[in-house]
Amino acid sequence: MGFRKVGVVGLGTMGAGIAEVLARGGVETVGVEINDAALERGRGNIEASTGRAVKRGRLSEEAQAEILGRVVFSTDFAALSDCDLVIEAVPERIDLKEKVFAELDKVCGPDAVLATNTSSLSVTEIAAATTRPDSIVGVHFFNPAPVMKLVEVIGTERSRPEFVSAVTELVRDLGKTPVTIGDRAGFVANRLLFGYLGPAARLLESGEAGKEDIDASMTAIGLPMGPLTLMDLIGLDTCLEVLEAIHRDSGEARHEPAALLRSLVAEGALGRKTGRGFYTYEKVGSGSVV
């Protein structure tokens, strides 16, 4: 089962990255956003990301034009009606995801695979918003999606095994490394990663170490980014949601979000995407690090 046309709902940091990965992989892609302004931001995210690759000499202008030409942009869910796979990448709120899936249930063909890029919510719960929970799988990309190799593919107890296999195959064809796992808050990678990121925020909050020293400790060890810089890249709102979900599910104190993280999110300091998080940034953008 190859996928001919793939839809992406939500073109924020993750959705735009996923749409870029698909279009780079030669897949006809449909990107859907809630309104014209969000759609233009999403288009801008993909243009900027591929534009950076052109500037770095990694992509020719012709290849960039071909990639962009493979993406159709729309504010109408009906544009997804002939997609054989749709990947939802809207913010991590269960009410929002349920709304999107109820809509996809109405517009998509009966054989379409419906996937969620959720970081930490229950795929089973999201699937319950549809009349076809056996068509729902999780496909969890990492930020920045065009660079990160790992993609977690999640099958629920109801997911059709051939749908899980087909999505795993697509991920492999896109040059990524799929890992197939069950439906558990934080899956594998976030459960491990946030066991490290959460305490980094608490360490800063305790005043025992400054942010630059916390980050330098880990980059000097050899990690590509310090934990606070990485949280700013992921988005502090997403970090808070992931920690809350893992904390709820595991009950482990180490996953309890730091009060500092909560207050930054409440102030609207969400990391790179808003220009301020643990650090401040001159350039506001969707996870752009270059």
Residue 142 interacts with ligand 3HC (CB under 6 A)? yes
Residue 91 interacts with ligand 3HC (CB under 6 A)? no
Is residue 119 annotated as part of the catalytic site, yes or no? Answer: yes
Q: Which of 88, 152, 241, 247 is catalytic?
A: 152
Among 29, 64, 116, 119, binds ligand 3HC (CB under 6 A): 119
Q: From edge to edge, which strands make up the β-sheet containing 150-155?
A: 71-74, 28-32, 5-9, 85-88, 113-116, 136-141, 150-155, 177-181
Residue nearest to ligand 3HC (CB): 119
Shortest CB 37 distance to ligand 3HC, Å: 21
Among 11, 46, 112, 234, binds ligand 3HC (CB under 6 A): 234
Residue 190 interacts with ligand 3HC (CB under 6 A)? yes
Q: What is the b/e burial string over 31-62, where b = at least 16 CB atoms within 10 angstroms of the residue's CB?
A: bbbeeeebbebbbebbbebbeebeeeeebeee
Shortest CB 240 distance to ligand 3HC, Å: 11
Nearer to ligand 3HC, 27 or 245 (CB): 245
Is residue 152 annotated as part of the catalytic site, yes or no? Answer: yes
Nearer to ligand 3HC, 81 or 288 (CB): 288
Among 122, 168, 238, 274, binds ligand 3HC (CB under 6 A): 238
DSSP state of 149: -
Instruction: Check: CB of residue 139 under 8 Å from CB of residue 165.
Output: no
Beta strands in the chain (DSSP E): 5-9, 28-32, 71-74, 85-88, 113-116, 136-141, 150-155, 177-181
How close are the terminal C-alpha atoms of the chain, in Å? 37
Shortest CB 57 distance to ligand 3HC, Å: 8
Residue 225 interacts with ligand 3HC (CB under 6 A)? yes
Which residue from 31, 29, 33 is spatially nearest to 5, judged by alpha carbons?
Answer: 29
Q: Is 139 helix (H, G, I), strand (E, B) or coil?
A: strand
Q: What are the C-alpha distances in Å from 235 to residues 68, 132, 230, 275, 285?
A: 26, 32, 9, 11, 11
Shortest CB 89 distance to ligand 3HC, Å: 11
Cite the active site residues.
119, 140, 152, 190
Q: Which residues would be at the binding site for ligand 3HC (CB under 6 A)?
A: 49, 52-53, 56, 58, 119, 142-144, 146-148, 190, 193, 224-225, 230, 234, 238, 242, 287-290
